[in-house]
Chains A and B, each alone.
Chain A
Amino acid sequence: MDAFADVWRRLRSLAGRRDLDDRLDDEIRFHVEQQTEKYRRAGIPPDEARRQALIRFGGVEQKRQETRDQFRAPRIENLARDVRYGLRSLWRHPAFSAMAVLSLAIGIGANAVIFGVVHALLYRPFPLAQPETLVNVYETEGGRGFNLMSHPNIEDLRRSTTQVFSGIAASTFFPAPVGSDGTAQIVMGELVNGGAFAVLGVEPLLGRAILPEDDVARGGHPVVMLNHAYWQRAFAADPQAVGRTLQIGGRGYTIIGVAPAGYRGGFPLLSPAFYVPMAMADELMGAAMLTERDAHSFFVKARLAPGVTRLQAEHTASLVADGLTRARPEGWVPGERFSLVPTADVQIYPGIDPLLRAAALLLVAVVGLVLLLACTNLASVLLARALDRGREVAVRRAIGATRVMIARQLLVESALLGLGGAAAGFVLAVVLLKVLVSIDLPLPYTLKLDSHFGIDSTVLFDWRVLALTAVAGALTGSALGLVPAVQGTRGDVGSALKTGSRGGDAPGSLRWRNALVIAQVAMSLVLLVGAGLFLRSWHKMLAVDPGFGRNPASVLTLMIPVARSTPDETVQRTHAVLERLRIVPGVEAAGLVWPLPLEFASSFTDFTIDGRVPPPDRAAFRADRVTVDDAFFDAAGIAIIAGRTFTEADRRDTQPVAVISQAMARRYWPDGDALGRVLRRPDPAERDLMVVGVASDVNVRSLGETPRDVVYESYTQGAAFPMFNFVVRVATDPSRISPVLVAAAREVDPDVKPVQSTTMAQHLAMSRLPSQMGAFMLSAFAAMAMVLATIGVYGLVRYTVAMRTREVGIRMALGADAAGVARLLATGGLRLALIGGAIGVVVSLVAASYLTKLLFGVGAFDPFALTGAPLVLGLVAWLAAYLPARRASRANPLAALRSE
């Protein structure tokens, strides 16, 4: 009880400490004056009296301290004192402190951002019940590739796998016009089959989920379940929203429920606004989505029945595929199979996951390297400062500070730097993330990370990242403080005092610093080479001619609901829109296309050729299929090399014709006699095509690809499409004419709904985005690394120069010329940079070979990157070493000699 009271009193006095200090001062002053007075009265002269009084008192400062100890809580006090002292000391060296904090802030901030993004994109768990019994189902050909499933295939699979699957959840996405016609906005909607939420184990937050009975009659169940984010955004999280009506595609949908906060739909990259029953697909998509076996649009997850393994299920599924191959229904590609991938193993999509993982790994490695670099910088600086403070430490030890006290002081200082760096890094990360989520990606949709991917700064910045940041900062700081703390307090006080202002230059610690600088230069060179490779890759990609879209053009995606139209009516309506677009002032050519080359979507057709045998494992040849009109080639700048384009005369009731790509013509008819040949199509739904023209090659799937076989079909002869990209070549600014074009289209057909509007330049930029992002990010990180390494080299040379001021003075006094001295001083730093550079080149060569997968048109041993990076770094290192050296050599020799 007494102990408690004592602590309480100490703590209370902590608050009134200043008062107690003042009081003590007054008392001591009074005491000494009284004593002096007494001696004076005894006849001692005033000065001597005061001296005697002070002696009699016995060490004013010491007594004051001892007294203070009586009213202070020692441990808290000591820490507070160390912190105060540390702050003051850091404040006195603003350049040093700012550099250290900034280095750490860059390192920690970059890590927080990258970890946040990678985690949010790839490793954010979905709130699915028992994910270990869920599998993703894809269609695959001979084990190659992962295609989305078509609805008839899902239904066949469902019917025959009830033994192995307890349920199947399928979904697809569609651009949904929301609101009344005039003010309709396009948002992303998701079609799900009835009971999908129950299969996944996702419980609605409000109301109910979409049930099997919501998904029975085609077009008969206009109900909608809101996604959580959309509910918050569009309905201000109003619980009363359930039961209200939402206008989607011109029809009222009853809101039946709201999905829980964590659930973001059937595909991790897209965050839909709401979910509607699959039975509404045809009406909403304006096409027969559900009946076509080659409409590969559905993401599928299946729940394994209790006790069934994935392999057993896959076996059962393969029997279904074999049955389909035997039955040969329309649209089924013989030999196709179903592939089951554990849901937990899929990050985004099995086809691109390896690439994404590689990219994520690269980014994490790069930012890790940046953090390491920041840490070495801090370590190097702390080491230098510990040496610099040799005398300060010696003095403090001489007046009685123990080694532990001094080490504690140094540790507190470095921990302060660590915390400061962490705090600054945190702020930096928040700012960067804010910028990142609001950044306008050059995408065809105005895609934003927050509203479309369900990624906002709160998701990016989860508590794990926060904890990581704080711990990283405090730990790095303290850990780095340890070496100087131990080293700085070693050695004997006398010699440190004697050697003068610069303290004992322990050769060991200098070796440490040298090693750190070498490591820094090596690391930043590796990053620079990486940046060089990505810049080259991007540059190469910029130089690639995709074969179309060189001229300014506007690209509009328009939906023309044609579900209740005959194919001929569809063609007429589409044709009317095209004709109207062509007379808009400023329009030079207007054509339509689906899918637009280099769009994410792709389509293909199978065919045979008389006299040629298909590859052994296939029944037919295969080519990409692009549906266009006659003017598309002109609008997109694709040349007709031989034959003709389509004409008004190519109608549904005339001979179906095709234009093929030059690459395809060369492959099958190397003698140049492609025109007039026939592509026979095994699929009974597709009529045989006669080749009437050859078009110049374009990149269809990826930029810079080997030219592919492409079959262009006329929209007047193919299946009815509800949606087309209209490519409108214009003489003016394409982005500004888009609204005019949309208005013109709606003038002839009020049902037309704009899905997206972009420009050809943006569309092409999108296909370059990955390499551009890679180049940009790596360059940014490499620049950071170079700045850090530069600071490292600069700091080292500055430090060496400072240590040798006296030597410089003597040399200059003896007649050495300034340039020679500067060279001498800079040599040390440059030698380290050279060693670091050599190591960096070797490491780069090894590291670059891992990068080739992410590069375009650039080998791992790219001479440009491998010579450019060392040159840049060399120049910067030379400047960093030479500038401080030259300044020292310009100094007045007398001043230099006196400075010590």
Chain B
Amino acid sequence: MTKEKGDVLQGTLDLVVLKALKLEPMHGWGITERLEQWSESVLQLGQGTLYPALYRLERQDFIRSEWRVTDNNRRARYYSLTARGRRHLQESLAQWRRMSRAINLVLDVTTVN
């Protein structure tokens, strides 16, 4: 039960993380800031939820990371998209769109009737 919910959530989270990193390399906190700009709800469970996702994505070779120095001279781990990640994001987005269009279609039809 919880596992299913987690899976949906996880899929979504992966997608938005990749989306965020498509713009520019960012550290973990930066990603959460960006996500909060987009939506309050994604990280409802706590900002820490981001990290398992980051490590998983890195393990899957969708993102890579390196130490960099921030603007105010702090050391931070910066994540960036790999080519594979970029491809995966495109595929996922395409699929997402197909899916949402299908859902929308269904919803529209039911609304009409």
Interface residues of A (CB under 8 A from B): 6, 9-10, 13, 23-24, 26-28, 30-31, 34-35, 56-60, 62-64, 66-67, 69-71
Contact = CB atoms under 8 A, between A and B. Distances in A.
B111 to A, nearest CB: 38
B17 to A, nearest CB: 13
Interface string B22-40: 0000011100100000000
The residue in B46, B48, B76 that gathers the most chain A C-beta atoms within 10 A of its C-beta is B48
Counting chain B CB atoms within 10 Å of each CB, the highest count among A10, A70, A71 belongs to: A70
Interface in B33-70: 45-49, 51-52, 54-56, 59-60
B52 A67 contact: yes
30 contacts: A24-B51, A26-B75, A27-B28, A27-B51, A28-B48, A28-B51, A30-B28, A30-B74, A31-B28, A31-B47, A31-B48, A34-B29, A35-B29, A35-B47, A56-B46, A57-B47, A57-B48, A58-B46, A60-B48, A62-B48, A63-B46, A63-B48, A63-B51, A63-B52, A64-B51, A66-B52, A67-B52, A67-B54, A67-B55, A71-B59
A57 B47 CA distance: 4
Contacts of A70: 52, 55-56, 59
Contacts of A13: 59
A649 B47 CA distance: 120
Nearest to B55: A70
Contacts of A26: 75, 77
Contacts of B59: 6, 9-10, 13, 70-71
Interface string B74-91: 111100000000000000
B49 A58 contact: yes
Interface in B12-28: 27-28
A786 to B, nearest CB: 57
Interface of B: 27-29, 32, 45-49, 51-52, 54-56, 59-60, 74-77
A57 B52 CA distance: 13
A35 B46 CA distance: 12
A30 B76 contact: yes
A514 B44 CA distance: 56
A433 to B, nearest CB: 52
B49 A63 contact: yes
Contacts of B46: 56-59, 63
Given A23-B77, A67-B51, A70-B56, 15 more contacts: A6-B60, A13-B59, A30-B27, A30-B29, A30-B75, A31-B29, A31-B32, A31-B48, A58-B46, A58-B49, A59-B48, A62-B48, A64-B48, A66-B52, A70-B52
B65 to A, nearest CB: 9
A31 B77 CA distance: 10
Contacts of B75: 26, 30
Chain B CB within 10 Å, residue with most, of A9, A23, A31, A59: A31
A358 to B, nearest CB: 66
A10 B32 CA distance: 26
A6 B62 CA distance: 13
B32 to A, nearest CB: 8
A66 B55 CA distance: 10
Closest 6 pairs (CB-CB, A-B): A58-B46, A63-B48, A70-B55, A34-B29, A67-B51, A66-B52
Nearest to A55: B46
B93 to A, nearest CB: 21
A56 B55 CA distance: 20
Nearest to A2: B60
Q: Which of A13, A28, A58, A60 has the most chain B CB atoms inside 10 A of its CB?
A: A58
A93 to B, nearest CB: 36
B74 to A, nearest CB: 7
B83 to A, nearest CB: 16
Contacts of A24: 51, 55
Contacts of A63: 46, 48-49, 51-52
A410 to B, nearest CB: 28
A524 to B, nearest CB: 55
Contacts of B27: 27, 30
A71 B48 contact: no
A71 B60 CA distance: 11
Contact of B47 (A58, A62, A71): A58
A269 to B, nearest CB: 67
Contacts of B77: 23, 26-27, 30
Nearest to A63: B48
A287 B108 CA distance: 122
B42 to A, nearest CB: 13
B78 to A, nearest CB: 11
A44 B54 CA distance: 30
A57 B60 CA distance: 24
A57 B44 CA distance: 10
Contacts of B48: 28, 31, 57-60, 62-64
A566 B49 CA distance: 109
Contacts of A66: 51-52
A6 B46 CA distance: 27
A30 B46 CA distance: 16
Nearest to B31: A31
Contacts of B28: 27, 30-31
Q: Which of B45, B55, B60 has the most CB of A within 10 A?
A: B55
A30 B74 CA distance: 9
A70 B46 CA distance: 18
A389 B46 CA distance: 35
Contacts of A71: 55, 59
Contacts of B60: 6
